[in-house]
Structure 1
């Protein structure tokens, strides 16, 4: 059950975490050898305070805590906490997975099978193969990704890449690249492919806030599905969650009534119902339902943000859009039968309309 790939993982700390405790010197006691001779004690000598950066010395003058999230290491007898982890060469399986609280910068390639997680951003100067990337902030792939249908990229920030091939992508911010080939993409922001090629070929690509591309599909009429807007799944989920929240609130109101009755009975009879099994059961249900309600309300808040941000989302194609491309906007669908140039697709009440594209290459 040992995760051998993570054996070489980075030693990370969080802000406020105790990283060292100094133990003051103590006076030794004289001893005796096996022959009865005196062995003089060595008296302890106080050491100098720890040197380095990225940590604080507490008021007790013996406890040291990290002042930031990051990587902790020794550098020439100094303790250093760094918010950035740098890999000078390639990230290889032999070196293990990388899991770091902070930013990660890899100056080489990322080998297939490697897992990289960061609470901050991930920057890869080389080419990423069939690996797994997960970031709390932005992901930058200067050399692109060759996913081989085994790669996944997930981030709460934005993505900038040269290209993606055969990759699963979940991006909560905007996504900018030159080529998406046979990828499965869900982007909560806007997708922009306005580089030299700026094309999407094959796969399924969803952009909640809209999409701008130089071209869509290819002359081989490869099936390429484009989804913009929140989609019927978001609206359906929103309705379900709103109904669930309403029912939970009604149940909590009934529980509050039951607890109030115990309070009234306690005052009328002069008897404490604190440990009554029925009251205890109501309290447990209240705690569980309150936690569930808070979680559901947060999900609804996020769904409403997605729905609001999707208003007016459209698909802008600066140059060619080929047959085989399918445009989806909520419940509406349009399958391209003929090649078109410089067109923008937008949602009408009962169909997907077209107009000249006003977007340009940056």
Structure 2
């Protein structure tokens, strides 16, 4: 402690000590008041006689009633189980567990302790619904990637074979949904249970199911799942080339050609197509997916409704409903894709015109000599083409239906009243009526597809199309995106092209 020259403490330190003394005095005063209040409260409480009591709680799901039972203070009346049960019944609570209550009350009164979380009433919980499920024993995703070896090299010839099953082979198991049972809460009110989602699998052509749960193949072919229908597409195998020895191939199922489609010959099928050789200035049309070793020749024409994978394309016209995967290169060809085009090989695309709705992704575009190459995205050519063909088909069919209707309207009145229709005429009329019903059914299907295509074309406006080049774009290449054109005048690397809607032009960015 320090002092000034007169031997007295500094004024600041004196003030601090005085403040501390005042604070201690105030704390002592407050402490005495609190102690007095506690003693007074304890005396009041200790002097009051309390009877035994209970507290009821209902769980949030209303399935359980819990009790906390407390003993009386000295001189108080014990809690009675009959009073508890009467109180619960007065509140409308049902399914009271009397033995639990009696046992807990006896424990509380005998040992003079509180008993907590006594289950006093129990509702009936609902039995939840069982969601159905379907387990397929074959891959339902038909997309197949190029196979790579341990070194990462691509074997462009190996895409696996088209899946085929034999009669008696199990295809799917269906575990049907089961509706649950409602429960009841402690007040006797029903607790509803949600219904399971409906699940359905329909056996189509070549498939049978006796119990609705196990589905088996009845014929050899390719299993196909379309919506809720499981069917078998028959597979037609051409052991060699499609040429003079076979003639043109036209089949309702899937076709496998182990050789080449030679110049001037054609293959058409309603299923998938696999050509282990090439299409050499031939014609191939398939409604499903396609797998072709190569397309060669300016007269080649390939039209596949689904996805197509091909080792290389060298000349000709290729139209794909969805995605096109090319293993090596595309050379001087016309290609239209309703999805995206992916060219994996280093040569990329040299010459020709590629059109894709969503994206073109390739290693390089064009050539050093300035070969004319057009890459176009954001255009629904395939949909507009399909819509045009479909509308033409609808128009012709509607005309036929109208003619049949007019014929029936003019013929039937002749035989009104007592005049009997000759059996020959009646047979012809029945045949005409059946044809009318068939055509009307086709019209409904085609008009549904017509509406779907129009919706797809409208939805495609929301797609952001892109041309992405992993290596080089050479001078002379044209980039087209929804009406905008960009002519490449110098070599560019690792680039993506987009259309800037605000500027109304094509801009370049990093490869994506």
TM bin, normalised by shorter chain, reads 0.5 to 0.7
Which residue of the partner structure matches residue 456 of structure 2? 302
Question: Relative to structure 1, is the Cα distance of residues 232 and 138 closer, same or farther in structure 2, using a 3 angstrom cutoff?
Answer: closer
Match of 1:84 among 235, 253, 257: 235
Match of 1:331 among 471, 483, 506: 483
1 CA distance for matches of 2:447 and 2:505? 37
2 CA distance for matches of 1:123 and 1:234? 24
Which residue of the partner structure matches residue 228 of structure 1? 377
CA deviations on 1:50-90 (whole Å, 9 max, x unpaired) are xxx9599xxxxxxxxx967979xxxxxxxxx9711112221
The reply on whether 1:153 has 2:302 as its aligned counterpart is yes
Matches within 5 A, 1:21-170: 83-142=234-293, 144-147=294-297, 149-170=298-319
2 CA distance for matches of 1:227 and 1:157? 20
TM-score by length of 2: 0.42
Equivalent residues, number? 232
Structure 2: tracts of 5 or more residues without a match: 1-204, 209-216, 223-231, 388-439
The structural deviation recorded for 1:307 is 3.1
The structural deviation recorded for 1:327 is 0.2
Q: Is the 8 A contact 1:132 1:151 kept in 2?
A: yes
Q: Is the 8 A contact 2:340 2:356 kept in 1?
A: yes
Question: Relative to structure 1, is the Cα distance of residues 196 and 107 closer, same or farther in structure 2, using a 3 angstrom cutoff?
Answer: farther
Question: Relative to structure 1, is the Cα distance of residues 137 and 337 closer, same or farther in structure 2, using a 3 angstrom cutoff?
Answer: same
Q: Is the 8 A contact 2:319 2:382 kept in 1?
A: no
Q: Which has the higher contact order (CA 8 A, sep 6+)?
A: 1
Which structure features the higher share of strand residues? 1
The structural deviation recorded for 1:230 is 2.4
Question: Relative to structure 1, is the Cα distance of residues 114 and 234 closer, same or farther in structure 2, using a 3 angstrom cutoff?
Answer: closer
Q: Which secondary structure does the structure 1 equivalent of 2:455 belong to? A: helix
The structural deviation recorded for 1:128 is 1.6
Which residue of the partner structure matches residue 192 of structure 1? 342
The structural deviation recorded for 1:306 is 3.4
The structural deviation recorded for 1:202 is 1.0
Question: Relative to structure 1, is the Cα distance of residues 139 and 294 closer, same or farther in structure 2, using a 3 angstrom cutoff?
Answer: closer
CA deviations on 1:314-357 (whole Å, 9 max, x unpaired) are 11100011011000001111000001111111110221111121
The structural deviation recorded for 1:234 is 8.1
Q: Is the 8 A contact 2:350 2:367 kept in 1?
A: yes
Q: Which secondary structure does the structure 1 equivalent of 2:279 belong to? A: coil
TM-score by length of 1: 0.58
Q: CA RMSD in A?
A: 3.2
The reply on whether 1:341 has 2:493 as its aligned counterpart is yes
The reply on whether 1:355 has 2:495 as its aligned counterpart is no
Q: Which secondary structure does the structure 1 equivalent of 2:299 belong to? A: strand
Question: Relative to structure 1, is the Cα distance of residues 107 and 303 closer, same or farther in structure 2, using a 3 angstrom cutoff?
Answer: same
Match of 1:206 among 328, 348, 355: 355
Structure 1: tracts of 5 or more residues without a match: 1-52, 57-65, 72-80, 239-286
Q: Which secondary structure does the structure 2 equivalent of 1:186 belong to? A: strand
Which residue of the partner structure matches residue 78 of structure 2? none
The structural deviation recorded for 1:305 is 3.8
Question: Relative to structure 1, is the Cα distance of residues 305 and 102 closer, same or farther in structure 2, using a 3 angstrom cutoff?
Answer: farther
CA deviations on 1:243-302 (whole Å, 9 max, x unpaired) are xxxxxxxxxxxxxxxxxxxxxxxxxxxxxxxxxxxxxxxxxxxx9xx9898676344223
Q: Which secondary structure does the structure 2 equivalent of 1:316 belong to? A: strand
